[in-house]
Amino acid sequence: MTDNTPTLPEAPTPFTRREAIRASLGAVLAGPVLLHRSTHAATEILIRGGRVVNAHGVMAADVRVIDATIAEVGRNLRAGDGARVIEAAGKLVMPGGIDPHTHLHPGFADDMTSGSQAALAGGITTVGTFATPARGESALDAMARMEATIGREAIADVILHASVWPPTPDLIAALPQLVAKGQPSIKFYMVRTDFGAQMEMVIKVLEAAREAGVVTMIHCEDGALLAAAVRRLTAQGKTSLEHYIASRPAVAELVATQQAAGLCEDTRAPVYLVHMSSSRALDACRAARAGGAPLFLETRPLFIHLNEEKLRGPDYQLFVGQPPLRPQGDVDAMMRGLIDGSIDVLATDHAPWTREQKMDPQLNIARVRPGASDLQFMLPMFFSEGVGKRKCSLERFVAATSTNAAKIFGLYPKKGVIRQGADADLAIWDPQLTRVARAADDLSKSDYSPYEGWSVKGWPVTVVRRGEVVFDGGKVTGSPGSGVLSARRPWSRA
Ligand SMILES: [Zn+2]
């Protein structure tokens, strides 16, 4: 296949935003055209009789896939010669999930193969992870290194965010190159204790990111306040993880979120706040969003399903994350925010560890292994708890788990929607299928699940990634290296 490489052309420098938009538009439009030009016999899949769910509506329709692309959506489509027909009566046909926030990079238990397998089995066809420069590496070098890994290991499609610190003129100079590379996003962590000291450069980066069309992801917890909490607890000898909640106060998330919202409102740079966990932080974003600032919000499954009691119960170390689990009022607020649209995206922040790694007695409030495996269970859990029990509409489900991420990160309308010309990334769901979440069934190399034993109603049964059936009959069939670094267009308000 020739389409296993990103389709964005090498950009001339200087690369203006207008050129970048035109280039990526060209890449999107070129997709189906190139397929028609290729000489191999077209492969057809006809998904028949399902309910097609998009963020803008639900309809009874068939979906015809030719090669990697959705060729037709409509009623009573007739299968072409040799087409594979998938009967979807009683099923939902949804865009493949897009999880822009996972940790499928060195340092965690999964590689891109096991991470992809868990994602696909859970209805997710595109994952975002981070390119973090090693010492001496540039942002672009780190991207190239990760791209090579994708070419060897990924089955799901992948997008990369450059995680770079400190902010420097070099980073500003690299932003148009990230756009040219088709990966226009970066990440900052306010947990860094020198974040405040770097504020002038942070603002300059945001201004340059706005001009280049680069989205800045921000982890909102104030590093200085966290350090102060750890210092006070340490002075009292309270360093064990039993004191984890006190070591990361919600107010540290609040003030960091206020600052990030203010930076977005002031610079008008697109800013995406990862893993929001508390209602006060959410409230701190409402005015900027209402005023039209390009401020986007994400929460994660742990924050809509579990409360801080887990950090006081047995095996509490397994539930350590950043930020920590919050009181039930916050949990309800995060779920409500997802359902009413005041939170845009549900993303895993998939951070796979083994039980042994999480229970390591060497860990303490100053040295943690944060996060948990979530790729396989995120969508079924949200479907079961949100759509099944909380009256989340199917449209909102798709918006929060696919379409919004596609729009924010420049994949739309190539991904995140079921319509003619889009990538054939599709998850066929059985909304009645009830199974119990068990770590033993999780294809991630993490060997425990925060949701062990939960009864979950609604699961993907067949998953198609760019026209290839990659999950069916409970098995992932896609091969490592078939996932690609998916080219994205720079952010724009449209
Ligand atoms: Zn993360």
pLDDT digits (tens, 9 = 90+) for 274-288: 999 999 999 999 999
Provide the pLDDT for residue 41.
77
pLDDT digits (tens, 9 = 90+) for 257-279: 999 999 999 999 999 999 999 99
Residue 435 burial (CB count, 10 A): 14
Kindly report whether the peptide bond that precedes residue 361 is cis, defined as omega within 30 degrees of 0: no
Mean pLDDT for all residues in the chain: 92
With a cut of 80, say whether residue 453 has pLDDT above it: yes
pLDDT digits (tens, 9 = 90+) for 135-144: 999 999 999 9
Give mean pLDDT, residues 25-50.
65
Ligand 1 centroid, distance to 324 Cα (angstroms): 13
In a domain, 51, yes or no: yes
Give the DSSP letter string of 149-197.
HHHHH-SSEEEEEEE--S--HHHHHHHHHHHHTT--EEEEETTSTTTGG
Which residues have beta carbons under 5 A from ligand 1 (an ion)? 349
The model's pTM is 0.91
In a domain, 485, yes or no: no
Beta bridge pairs of residue 54? 57
Give mean pLDDT, residues 441-462.
97
Burial of 357 (0-12, 13-18, 19+ CB in 10 A): middle
Residue 392 burial (CB count, 10 A): 21
Ligand 1 centroid, distance to 185 Cα (angstroms): 14
One-letter amino acid at 400 equals A
In a domain, 484, yes or no: no
Ligand 1 centroid, distance to 281 Cα (angstroms): 17
With a cut of 70, say whether residue 14 has pLDDT above it: no
Provide the pLDDT for residue 2.
32
Residues sharing a CB contact under 8 Å with residue 332, sequence separation 6 or more, in sequence order: none
Structure tokens belonging to residue 118: 């868990």
Ligand 1 centroid, distance to 391 Cα (angstroms): 28
Ligand 1 centroid, distance to 421 Cα (angstroms): 32
Ligand 1 centroid, distance to 327 Cα (angstroms): 21
Ligand 1 centroid, distance to 291 Cα (angstroms): 28
Residue 7 and residue 101 in one domain: no
Which residue range is the domain that position 386 belongs to?
97-408
Provide the pLDDT for residue 42.
87
Q: Which domain CATH number covers 82?
A: 2.30.40.10
Q: What does residue 277 show for φ and ψ, rounded to 5 degrees? A: -130, -10
Ligand 1 centroid, distance to 101 Cα (angstroms): 6
β-pair type (124-131, 455-465)? unpaired
Question: Could you tell me how many helices (H) and strands (E) the chain has, helices first?
Answer: 16, 17
Q: Which domain CATH number covers 214?
A: 3.20.20.140
Residue 116 and residue 31 in one domain: no
With a cut of 60, say whether residue 334 has pLDDT above it: yes
Sign of CA dihedral 26, 27, 31, 36: positive
Number of structural domains (the chain) is 2
In a domain, 326, yes or no: yes
pLDDT digits (tens, 9 = 90+) for 302-315: 999 999 999 999 99
Ligand 1 centroid, distance to 270 Cα (angstroms): 18
Ligand 1 centroid, distance to 100 Cα (angstroms): 10
pLDDT digits (tens, 9 = 90+) for 221-234: 999 999 999 999 99
Residue 233 and residue 259 in one domain: yes
Res. 19 pLDDT band, cuts 50 70 90? very low
With a cut of 70, say whether residue 60 has pLDDT above it: yes
With a cut of 70, say whether residue 23 has pLDDT above it: no
pLDDT digits (tens, 9 = 90+) for 376-430: 999 999 999 999 999 999 999 999 999 999 999 999 999 999 999 999 999 999 9
Cα separation, 452 vs 436, whole angstroms: 8
Ligand 1 centroid, distance to 345 Cα (angstroms): 14
Cα separation, 98 vs 43, whole angstroms: 24
With a cut of 70, say whether residue 33 has pLDDT above it: no
Ligand 1 centroid, distance to 313 Cα (angstroms): 24
